[in-house]
Structures are given as C-alpha cells and as structure tokens.
Structure 1
C-alpha cells in the first residue's frame, strides 16, 4: 500500500493517436471483433482544462489496468504523453490544473490489508511535462494507521499560483514513538502549494468530520460531522451539518440527515457571492433543491422542483464551483439553468451538436471564456471539444470510443410496461440497428445499485448485445432512485419481491409484445443487476432461458456480514429476518432451471468474490449448469480491456449455445 508513485515513461504513439485521430470501424463485424470494439475501455477516462484555456489534460487507458496522462495543445492539436501509472497496484483516475504549469492527479488502487481487500486513493502533484512529482498526502515516518485517502481539492482557486484549497486526511503518530511529528487526526483543510508541499492550515483536523464545503471565495462555510462517533466507533446513520455566517469562525447547526430514514436536508454546494447554500430535501415524497440563506436565518426558497422525478443535484462551473443550475432525469437527463448566459451557451451548443444532445460543461478557464465541452447520445459514447466563446470556435479534442465510428448502433427509446400488479414501470428499449423488433433473441438487463437507475445514453454492454442481434430492455424497477420515496420502496433488497417481480415482468412484456422469442429470452446483470438475474430464477424459473451475472450478490446474509459490525447503515440497508433466506439465490439453487454464467474479480471490494464461488458451489451441488470465471487482481468494475473483451466473448458464446 505504500507504492503511490507514478512511473515516468513515454507512452506509445498509438495511445496518443487513439485520442485525437479516430479510426473508422467496419459496419459489419464478427463476434470476436464486436467483443474487442465494445469491451475495450473508453479512450478518455478524464479530461480537464488549464486555467488559461490553452491545454487539456487527458487520462487515457494503457495496457491492462494502467493509465496515461496526456497533454493536448488546443491550438496545434499536438498530444504529448507525460506520465503514467502502471495499475499495479495503483492507476490514474483523473487530473486537474492547479496552475498553467502544475497538475494535481488522483491515483486509485485496491490492496490486501490484513487478509481483506481495501481501496485507497492518493494525490500527487506534477508539472505539465510530467516532471517534479510530489506526493500531496500528509505523510509521517511512523503512523498509527494507514490513511485510505489523501483527500481532495475543494477549491482550485484562480490558477495564478500553484496553491489549491484541499481537504486532507491527517493520521497521528504511533503512541510511545519518540520522533517529531503531528498528533493531528482526521479531516482538515489546508491551503497547499502543490509544487513545494508548503501549507497554511485553514481548518484543524477533526476525526469525526467527513466533508467540508468551500464557498468559492476561499472560506469554509459548511462541514459534515458524525457526532455519534464522539462516543464510540459505531455510526448511527446520522450526518450533522454545521455552517458559518460571513466573517465568523463559529459553527451553527444547519441540518441533520438520517441515512436510515432517508430524511433531512443535505447541502450540495455553497455560493459565497450570494451567501446561500444549495441543498436537497424531501417535499411531497420528491427530492427538491432549495436555496438556504447562510445569514443566520436559514431561510429556504425552492430553487427547483418537479412533480414527476427527484432533483438529482446541481450543475457547477468554473474553478470555484459556482452553481449555475440543477439536473434531473426524466426520459432523458435534463439540466435547468439559473444563469441565463450559460443557458444560452448550452442551447447554442445543442444546436451545433444536434446529433449528441447530452451536453455538459466539464471544465472552464479561470475567466470562464473558454470551456471544455462533453457531448454524447445513445449511439455516441461522447466527444470532447474546447469552445472559445470570444472567437466562437469549437475545437474537437477527442472521442471516447473512436473505434465505433461508422458502426451502426441501436437507438435507445424510453418505454413503459405494466407490472403484474398494474403499476406502470419506466424502462429503456434498444433494438438492433435497422431491426423492426419482432421475434428476436432478447435480454432483460436490470441495473446495479439497487439505489441507482438507468438513463438514456450510451451503454457499452447494451450496444454490444444489440450488435449481436439482441433486443435489450433496461427496467427502472421499483427500488430504483430518482422517482421519489414511494417508488424506492424499502430498497431493492428489503423489497426484493417487488423489484425482482418488476424485472421479470419486463421479460414477460417483451414476449407479449412479440419483440422477444420466448425460447430465446435471457437476463444479464452486474452487481445488484447480477443478483436480480440470479434471483429471477427463484421467482420465475421458467421465464429466462439463460442467466449471466457479473460480480453478483448471491447471499444477503453474506453481504450483510461483509459490511462488518461498524457499518450499521449498510447492514440496515440489506435488512434482516426471513428475507435474508428468502431473498438469497445461493440458498435456493434447486429452483434454477436455466444455465448460469458468472464473472467476478478477485479484488472486488463491493461484493466479495466468495459470493459467486458460493453460488457456483450450490448450483453444482444441486445438479445445475453453472460456470464461474474469476479474474485475478481485478476489482468490481473489471477495469481492464482484455478482461472485458474476454467477458463479452464468453458471454456471446454462452448465450448463443443456451438460446439455440
């Protein structure tokens, strides 16, 4: 866990050209080619714009789990690799600009700690040419315990210096060690020089503080605190928020959010110029965005609400994270802008990029005259541009999946279907390109979470199956988020019968509508989706003729035990009592009738690989058909192109055989 350095090396020219020079794909491809095209990782993992708008830092995948930092000159289009992380054990996930010459990058890894897998992240500073690397975490010679995260930047400032405002984790020295060092413990805030490592302390470290909110003007105005940990080590699920009025160091109560009850106000951002916080709270069963005055009154006004769906969050812009709007998802993700200038800008960009209507401002220059734009659709994984508002120029930077250029992809359409109790369930249906959608092999693909939802947009798994000739439906079953408290039920674990029932009814709808050949109906899912794929065999064993589960939950009791005694919130989310047995597919292997294929990474910290191993053992013990593929040294997301290509290749062959 101590290997946090980047390894300076010139990346191959292929990695650079892959970002800036897409290669047209064939219109008709074999199964092997399709697996390679769709299974390969996205060519742009992360992108950020320099403070002067002249350069873009790209994080792109390398071989296996490695990642490369590249700098693209906006004016010339020249791309230069400057550094990389080899993925063993850490890989790059993103970079931001402290100044025009200095980057702050985040590394992520999973390592074995005392017999169990743990994730951790590190921050590192480097020059824009990859030199002068400096770890940005708090380090001491003999620490009492390992810090799993260095922290994160909460205000990038104006970019005129190498300093950023950063929330940092402090770890005390071991007791009884005679050495010089800090006894500070917990999360604090520092004004950090990313070149020298020099700091000015802004907020003292506190072991029960989990987050700080800056106001974009260099001040910390809100903090999140777990007061229950003052008395012990068990988190009771309540997060207490405190705020400050202008020009004061005194903390005042802001709100309390109960994770157990999903109740209370949660701040998202602070606008220092307006002296307000933006926060989410429930009203009439929906999540509403409020502006909350930070003048001592806590007066609330509605910033945005919708009768049909929850407000998801806020849209920010600029290096100080200024709030300019809010987002929600109906049939498609929508942004509502409070700032007229940005509303006009996005509208104009939408007209110019009409084939990719998902438009986001990813980053902006310090003067907010140059913007890094991301545009995508259901058939386009996304393209990055730099927009110069003064010259009204839109400069292409790179495509997320350039190898799919020229390949016909399936259109995703929002549909609804009736559950067995008459409830209308929202979903997305993708048909093979150019197909009328009758009598097809078909796949029901429930999303993970379960506290999540599917949205309209590009999905590499969906498009792979559509390319192979399958109709794919993605149900936002009850237990999904975004549709209010009543739709969420008790969540997809406690209310598994309702959630899995909705998933099964998606398959029945495909058959009823004549879209699916009933003899060629399969179910494929990842994480909770994998759980749903397996548990559907318990609830509706005759419906699906094949089941594929990627990193699935298979035993609710085991999942609850994985959360440990300190994670009261996680254990409560899963529940207890008879549903632990009734809702666990590994305890009902005898009910299975369809063949099962499972995939799992050995370093999965979300769901232990032991759950898939248990499911496989139980199925074989019951005389059922099951195959489990375990990928060594891979986490929950299977972030390795070769692994994903192998998974798609095996899945394609499995489904072809099972549904013939």
Structure 2
C-alpha cells in the first residue's frame, strides 16, 4: 500500500522466517517452494554476500552474511503486498541498493507495474529512497525509478543511476520543477546528495555508461504522431571526453542493426548484437567516426544469448549460447582457463555461471547446477584457489533423486526435426507412461537444459514430460522463429501436437493418458492444440493463458506500446482461427486453468472469457484464481496449490490411481 507518497507496509518488521520444509512434505510443497536464493551479490571487498530469500509465502527478506560463513543477518523485508524485493547489490561495503517491484492500481481501473530504488545500511539503518517519493506528479504518473548504470570506483556509497522526472508544481508557491523525461544522476545513497550527469530528456529511454561512470550511449525510442511507440530505437554515442552526440545505429526487431549492451572505456568499444546469416551474433564497435565493427562470435545453428560480464565494472569476458545444452565462449584468457578448472572441480555440475566479483576480481561468486541439481553457490578465491560452497538454490530437495533431462528431437508432420527435452520419472523404464507435453511461454522464448521445477514435479508424480522448442521459439534464428507463435500458430501448435504423437509412437506415452500443460503462451498452445487435433490430448492444463488475440490487441490500446502489440499479433483470419476462445466447439478434453488476478503479462480476463465460453458450450472446465498474484504466481503456497490441484485433475481425468 502507498500513503503520503511513501511506503507503508513495504518494509515489514522482521519476524520468524519459515522453517525448512520437512522430509515428509508432499512433492507439491517441495517443488512449489521458491528458490532459497532470489538474488545474490558480493561486496566490493569480497568479504560479504547479500542475498534475497523467500519468507511467508510471497514475502522476501534481504540478508547479509560473511563470505566465509557464519550466521546471516536479516536487514529488511518486503511483504509482497504489493512490493517485492527484486534485486540487490552493493553501493559500498556498508550500504546496499535494492529494487522494489510492485503491481498496483493507481485508480485507473487496471493494475500497472511500479519500481522503487532504496538503499539501506548493512545494519538495517538509514534507509533512503533514491528515486521518487510520490505515486503521482502534477503532470503524470511516477512509475519507474530507473536503474543503476555504473558503480563508481571509489565504492563509497555513490551510484550512477537513471531517473524518471515528471513536471511538478505546488499550489500557492513558486516551487516547481519543469524537468521532464529520463536523465542520469550521481546519487549519494546515504545523504541523497545529487550531482546531475545528464539532463532529463523527454525522448530518452536508455543510457549506457562505461566503467568510469561516463555516459557514452543514449537510446531514443521513436514514436508516431499520437505518441505510440514505433519499432525503432535510435542510438547515439559520444567520443571519450566529448559531450556531443554522434549517430550510432537504428535498431528494429528485425535485428539487422547494431544493438548496444555495454561500453568499455579503456578500449573505446561498445559491445552489442546484430544478425549474421539470420541469427543473432555478438559484435564490438569502436566508438569513433568510422565505427568499424568486429565480429566477436556467431554460431551456425543458434543465436548468441547474452554477454558474460564480470564484477563491479561489468567488463565483458565472453558470450553465452545454447545448443542442446548451455555453452559459452570466453574471450578473456584468464577466465577461459579458470572455467576449465572449475568444470573439473565441479563434476556433475556443468552449468557454471560467474555471478559477481570483488572490485579487484580477486574473489568471485559462482553458480553451478545441472538438470538433476537445482544449483549451489560458491565463493572462489583466486590467490588461494579455494572454492567454498555458500548456499543451495533449493535446500529442501537436497538428497532427493531428480529426473534426468535428455535432449531429443522428433519429426514434425512436414519432416522438420524439432528439438526438445525429455524428462522421465526417476527409476522408470520409460514405457507406456502417463505423459505431458509442456510447451514453453513466450512465444519469443525457448526451453533450455537444466533444472525445471515444473517438469521435475510432474516427473516425480510419475509422468513423462516433453518440452518442445517448436517453430516460433526464439534462439534458433529468423527462419525458425517464422512470424512468431501467434501469427504462425498452425506451425507452432502443430509442432506441439507432433511432440505428443512422437511420445506415443516411441512407446513412451500411453495414448489414453496423454495431457498438455502450459504456462502463458504455453497455456495458449495447450488450449489451441484442440483446434488441430481434438482427440490427441485427454486433459488440458493452462496457467495464465492467452485465449483471445483480438482482446489481447484491444487491451494494449490503453498503453503506448499499442502499435507494437498490434504489429506483433497482426491482422487477418488468424485472430479468430488462432484464438482458443473461438475454438471451444472443437474441444473435447476437460480444461483446468489457473490465473493471478493481477497478471500484467496476460490479463485474467483472458482466462475468464475462456471459462465462460467453455461453460456456455457445455464443456468441462474449472478455473482457479489467486488474488493479489501476477503472472509468475510468485507465492510458495499458491504454487504448491497449483501443482497439487493440477496433479489431482490429471489423475482423475486420465484415470490414474
């Protein structure tokens, strides 16, 4: 709740944290629990860790602990109603900056997202709000506080951050502010002293700073005459020491122009992405008049994922990408050698990520995991070569056997080989099992090899699970993406259905016990699968599903991204043919849906419309609503309830004991 322009109830009194779940807890409780580490970072001197841990279902607590071990100390907590601790990092060895994220209805009749940046001492004192105090200004809504874009080398509690300004006025005074737009400030997190670095610009939407804190790149989102965002971001750069902006690139969703992500002052380079041969590749561009490009890495089958960055400066040391399993290419020779040593030191944990580092990079914070290990965090000391485990991602699953995840492929109806991940119940012979096809969300996303709490839960309950990276998925280049999973729904959903047929053909699935389960776009695909083959799946579970493409476009009319949404969804017969709510007459399988009533990604009206249409057609349907929750159902009790209910539904519908 918000009152008088500040938080009330955001930072609740610290109380007892939930005890570890007992070994006798059911699988729904164990797998429904959120990760024990929501976010974690290392202090500049490398001696302390700050991490966010779940509490009281949807609450979150910030802890500080010695990197050497010992009792962690709670600093503050958010109650999740509506504010969540989303991210925390260190402004100095004694102060931490956190982002609070919340969903709230400011009186418009629909919910909106908000963020606030706060700083607090490691002793829990001297909490300061770094951005905006009030929800509204005289000329607009104050939604976002901005982002930290640089940590000054002094590590003295100052940060370089973007800030969103709105014009203000105060009645019967001369006090007013005409600042409007996004600017950049140096902010002292203890005293709130501010030094302006970049004046607010009404057209600016993104700034990139180098490791010295100098702002080197600005991004301007192009808009039409009505102020609606267009599919064009215009980037400009500065030479070292200059205040003059020079043109850099004009970026669209086509991906054919350089899209910057980071700046290196020492080498005067910008790092970013652009397409090469129809797939995303990593490039470096010299920030000068000629702006020559250097190809850093491209793969001949998949897109490059993200830059791997290290430490307080965010120095680029490599890139990640995913074929059958996550992989990386490290440009930095020291870290390439270190990664090879870590792979040997951590057998069975092939996913190794650099999470953070001390200012001098002498100490590193690492994550390691696999398909059967949810992950664990380590501190590595370069001088002593000591590697110490400091935390588990899911301690309540420790010691319990998890299902192996196997990369597979299967033929689509047109012969195209579709990559997927197959998870079989531990100890199963993999024959004639109840089975689930589980398409991913997005649609501009993909599944990756690793631990997946949803798939692991169903495997623990005895189901085989296949997760197809159907055409329309991201990560495989432009040709695989087709026109996206909505415009090209017949291809995407056809590939999903073909995954079920393959399970039956291979003898893995009992055809009478085949179900489809999906979240977000995956929920859409689960429901829409009946439009192509109503007899294939015997049960459908859809979590936060899109059901009506016309309504999806219509909902966006309240927002400045309306044109982007409309262009993405498109026009034509697929708005009806590709909408599950219009296909209920074809549906035979019983449907169970779940949705949070504050979902920003997919409004709950989508699921409610589907429920009403199915009931009107006399089709079996049940819908479960979680008050106060958004798209991710970020609440341990709600997730456990969703898992438990979905398993009961599947067992009953499929005739399982």
TM exceeding 0.5: yes
Q: Encode CA deviations 1:19-51: one digit per residue, 9 max, x unaligned.
A: xxxx8x75xx7xx70000000111110001001
Partner of 2:27: 34
- From 221, 225, 231, give the equivalent of 1:226: 221
Instruction: Give matches, 1:78-477, under 5 Å.
Output: 78-113=71-106, 114-139=108-133, 142-158=137-153, 160-174=155-169, 178-228=173-223, 231-259=225-253, 261-477=254-470
Residues 1:628 and 2:626 aligned together: no
* Shift, 1:250, TM fit: 0.7
Q: Encode CA deviations 1:491-527: one digit per residue, 9 max, x unaligned.
A: 0000000000000000000000000000000000000
Find the residue that maps to 2:26 and give its secondary structure.
helix
Alpha-carbon separation, structure 2, partners of 1:334 and 1:158? 31
Find the residue that maps to 2:510 and give its secondary structure.
strand
Is the 8 Å Cα contact of residues 599 and 629 (structure 2) preserved in structure 1?
A: yes
Find the residue that maps to 2:550 and give its secondary structure.
helix
Find the residue that maps to 2:74 and give its secondary structure.
strand
Partner of 1:608: 603
Higher mean alpha-carbon deviation, 130-139 vs 530-539, is at: 130-139
Residues 1:536 and 2:539 aligned together: no
Alpha-carbon separation, structure 1, partners of 2:57 and 2:398? 24
Is the 8 Å Cα contact of residues 477 and 502 (structure 1) preserved in structure 2?
A: yes
* Shift, 1:159, TM fit: 5.0
Alpha-carbon separation, structure 2, partners of 1:66 and 1:146? 26
Alpha-carbon separation, structure 2, partners of 1:159 and 1:334? 34
- From 646, 652, 655, give the equivalent of 1:651: 646
Partner of 2:588: 593
Is the 8 Å Cα contact of residues 98 and 159 (structure 1) preserved in structure 2?
A: no
- Structure 2: gaps of 5 or more residues: none
* Shift, 1:176, TM fit: 7.2
Is the 8 Å Cα contact of residues 486 and 569 (structure 2) preserved in structure 1?
A: yes
* Shift, 1:76, TM fit: 3.8
Partner of 2:14: 10
Alpha-carbon separation, structure 1, partners of 2:536 and 2:174? 67
Alpha-carbon separation, structure 1, partners of 2:527 and 2:630? 21
Q: Encode CA deviations 1:599-639: one digit per residue, 9 max, x unaligned.
A: 00000011111111110111111111000001111101000
* Consecutive aligned runs of 4 or more in structure 1 exceeding 3 Å deviation: 1-6, 138-143, 174-179
* Shift, 1:655, TM fit: 0.4
Is the 8 Å Cα contact of residues 450 and 491 (structure 1) preserved in structure 2?
A: yes
Measured at CA, do residues 159 and 37 of structure 1 come closer, stay the same or move farther in structure 2, by a change above 3 Å? farther
Q: CA RMSD in A?
A: 1.6
Alpha-carbon separation, structure 2, partners of 1:33 and 1:278? 47
Is the 8 Å Cα contact of residues 255 and 274 (structure 2) preserved in structure 1?
A: no
Measured at CA, do residues 222 and 115 of structure 1 come closer, stay the same or move farther in structure 2, by a change above 3 Å? same
Alpha-carbon separation, structure 2, partners of 1:528 and 1:613? 16
Partner of 2:510: 517
Alpha-carbon separation, structure 2, partners of 1:254 and 1:279? 12
Find the residue that maps to 1:381 and give its secondary structure.
coil
Q: Encode CA deviations 1:554-585: one digit per residue, 9 max, x unaligned.
A: 00011111111632111111111211000001
Alpha-carbon separation, structure 2, partners of 1:543 and 1:381? 33
Is the 8 Å Cα contact of residues 324 and 337 (structure 1) preserved in structure 2?
A: yes
Find the residue that maps to 1:71 and give its secondary structure.
strand
- From 542, 551, 556, give the equivalent of 2:544: 551
Is the 8 Å Cα contact of residues 184 and 199 (structure 2) preserved in structure 1?
A: yes
Measured at CA, do residues 594 and 319 of structure 1 come closer, stay the same or move farther in structure 2, by a change above 3 Å? same
* Shift, 1:9, TM fit: 2.8
* Shift, 1:144, TM fit: 2.2
Find the residue that maps to 2:34 and give its secondary structure.
coil
* Shift, 1:353, TM fit: 1.3
Partner of 1:48: 41
Alpha-carbon separation, structure 1, partners of 2:272 and 2:155? 31
Find the residue that maps to 2:116 and give its secondary structure.
strand
Higher mean alpha-carbon deviation, 547-556 vs 309-318, is at: 309-318
* Shift, 1:3, TM fit: 4.7
Find the residue that maps to 2:374 and give its secondary structure.
strand
- From 496, 505, 508, give the equivalent of 1:503: 496
Is the 8 Å Cα contact of residues 138 and 171 (structure 1) preserved in structure 2?
A: no
Is the 8 Å Cα contact of residues 97 and 159 (structure 1) preserved in structure 2?
A: no
Is the 8 Å Cα contact of residues 8 and 130 (structure 1) preserved in structure 2?
A: no
Alpha-carbon separation, structure 1, partners of 2:172 and 2:577? 52
* Shift, 1:79, TM fit: 0.8
* Shift, 1:328, TM fit: 0.8
Is the 8 Å Cα contact of residues 51 and 159 (structure 1) preserved in structure 2?
A: no
Q: Encode CA deviations 1:464-487: one digit per residue, 9 max, x unaligned.
A: 000001110000000001111000
Find the residue that maps to 1:282 and give its secondary structure.
strand
Alpha-carbon separation, structure 1, partners of 2:104 and 2:568? 26
* Shift, 1:77, TM fit: 2.2
Alpha-carbon separation, structure 1, partners of 2:7 and 2:341? 43
Alpha-carbon separation, structure 1, partners of 2:144 and 2:490? 38
Measured at CA, do residues 176 and 235 of structure 1 come closer, stay the same or move farther in structure 2, by a change above 3 Å? farther
Higher mean alpha-carbon deviation, 242-251 vs 450-459, is at: 242-251
Find the residue that maps to 1:564 and give its secondary structure.
helix
Alpha-carbon separation, structure 2, partners of 1:210 and 1:519? 52
In the alignment of these two chains, the number of paired residues is 647
* Shift, 1:407, TM fit: 1.1
